Amino acid sequence: MLQGSDTPSVRVGMIRGAEEIRFEVLGPHRIRSSDGFHLEAERASRYAVSRSETSVPGSQHWVRFAITLPGERPTRPAPPGAEVRELVVGRRIQLPHLRVDNRETWHLVGPFPDNASAEAFRRGQPRPGELTVLQLPSGQAEGWATLDGRRVQLPITVLPENPQEPQILLRDVLIGIEFHWQHREDELLRGALEIAAGPDGKLVAINELSAEAYLASVNSSEMTPDSPEELLKAQTVAGRSTLFATAGKHHFGEPFDLCADDHCQCYYGASRERERSWEAVRSTWGEVLVSDGRVCDARYSKICGGIMEDYRFVWDDRRIPYLTSGVDGPEPLPVPANSEEAARQFIRSSPDVYCNVDRYPLPESLRERCQGLFRWQVRYSRSELEELLATRVGVRVGRLLDLVPMERGDSGRIVHLQVVGTEGRVILGKELEIRRALSSSHLYSSCFYVEKELDGHGFPEFFRLIGAGWGHGVGLCQVGATVMASRGFSYRQILAHYYRGAEILRAY
């Protein structure tokens, strides 16, 4: 991330794991490679870069059991049985009015010879959702590629003469990876394009552009551009905060700051921008959320379901003061919904909350995407569910007998779920693993209860999952915030509602 200039720049990973990357530059441009190859083109041209020989750095599998601020001790002891190691990750970024330091310490056990043994170690712990398996590369990948038949050394940089304008068309970008809307798109990009070798030795396409141009796309890629102006402003400030709070951490060891998909923040290039996206950027220029002197990792998701979830029930066990639970509406609700009975009652109800799409009107394009997701049901046959558990998370327990929530968060989301079969029991967690296990893409949320339909012998034949919300539910609820904006709340009021106690500062 460039420092010292008025607007910092960001490196976004657009494509990963590719054998070939195709793109077009729409006007005059230059291309350079690491071995000194240099090309100047006066007019638009198309290119294909394919991988030839790349070196893959060694890597090791570790299990992370805690995250702390640098210098702090984890609150829980390391799981026994392996060597303990600390790794400081993140960046220090000097902005004109704010010194950002997003570094944190990962507490790891390991190393394990492969992913399977690390995963088996994690699964063997009483609360496996507290642990994460990480593959840590021991260096940078290097290598060579062919650019339209010419052998060049990676990385390759493509710089349009006028990078302020969208001049690069990157082909076949996969978006919505592993979610129900996954598809490929061609993305129109401002700034520069870099093609490098990723840690797996395959090609990575990176878009480097100004943070504010990036945000003008993020606010409308995450939400529809017909969203109310105050919502777009709130989304922009949250997106800017997330950018500075997470750069260098979610993709440790990869040659970019954030990826372009739902995993980090959705960035689908300049074709998503509208005049209103830019207006939201200009009127909040450089503004970030700050808490305890650190830029907020301003998490957000589509529909909380009525109660915002606490960070620690979804990710590692840390109390993040601005990401605690709360009711997403004007009226009090019986909270927390963290017992089986309270969760069932809550999911069956239709409370007066901002994200209740059955009560409050939404902009047309958002309504289509969110229809039927405030409250939802999914029904599987036993064999379908056994197949999903086996293929999605490698869980085989014989004939499936039950899915038992062991622990719920304040919003009703299941933190750990026990899968019970004739040949054993396995605990899944936290919410993302549960959602991945119970759908061929991702289940809408982990806020659900289970009803079984039994066959003539008393064995379950069908499982119905009856649920609420879409996404992890932590921080800003995008649909709730849209309704707040259309009811006249300002972006500052919206941010204060979802990120308790955080202040807004201008970083540049």
Chain residues binding Zn ion by CB under 5 A are 250, 259, 263-264, 304, 328, 355, 477, 480
Minimal distance, residue 230 CB to Zn ion, in Å: 16
What type of residue sits at position 315? W
Minimal distance, residue 33 CB to Zn ion, in Å: 26
Cβ–Cβ under 8 Å, residues 143 and 175: no
Cβ–Cβ under 8 Å, residues 42 and 28: yes
- C-alpha 438/C-alpha 385 separation (Å) is 7
Minimal distance, residue 361 CB to Zn ion, in Å: 15
Query: Which residues, in sequence order, are bridge partners of residue 269?
Result: none
Of 130 and 328, CB closest to Zn ion = 328
Strand order in the sheet with 104-112: 83-89, 104-112, 59-68, 132-137
Run of H or E including 416:
strand 414-421
Minimal distance, residue 185 CB to Zn ion, in Å: 17
Minimal distance, residue 202 CB to Zn ion, in Å: 17
Minimal distance, residue 328 CB to Zn ion, in Å: 4
Of 14 and 385, CB closest to Zn ion = 14
- Residue spans of alpha helices (H) in 394-427: none
Give the chain's radius of gyration (CA, Å). Answer: 23
> Does the CA dihedral 186-253-286-354 come out positive or negative?
positive
Distance separating the N- and C-terminal Cα atoms of the chain: 14
Of 259 and 280, CB closest to Zn ion = 259
Cβ–Cβ under 8 Å, residues 394 and 419: no
- C-alpha 124/C-alpha 63 separation (Å) is 12
- Residue spans of alpha helices (H) in 136-274: 211-222, 229-246
Minimal distance, residue 269 CB to Zn ion, in Å: 16
> Does the CA dihedral 235-236-237-242 come out positive or negative?
positive
Minimal distance, residue 424 CB to Zn ion, in Å: 34
Of 405 and 480, CB closest to Zn ion = 480
What type of residue sits at position 55? S
Minimal distance, residue 343 CB to Zn ion, in Å: 16
Of 243 and 426, CB closest to Zn ion = 243
- C-alpha 257/C-alpha 248 separation (Å) is 5
Give Cβ neighbours of residue 387 (< 8 Å, ≥ 6 apart). Answer: none
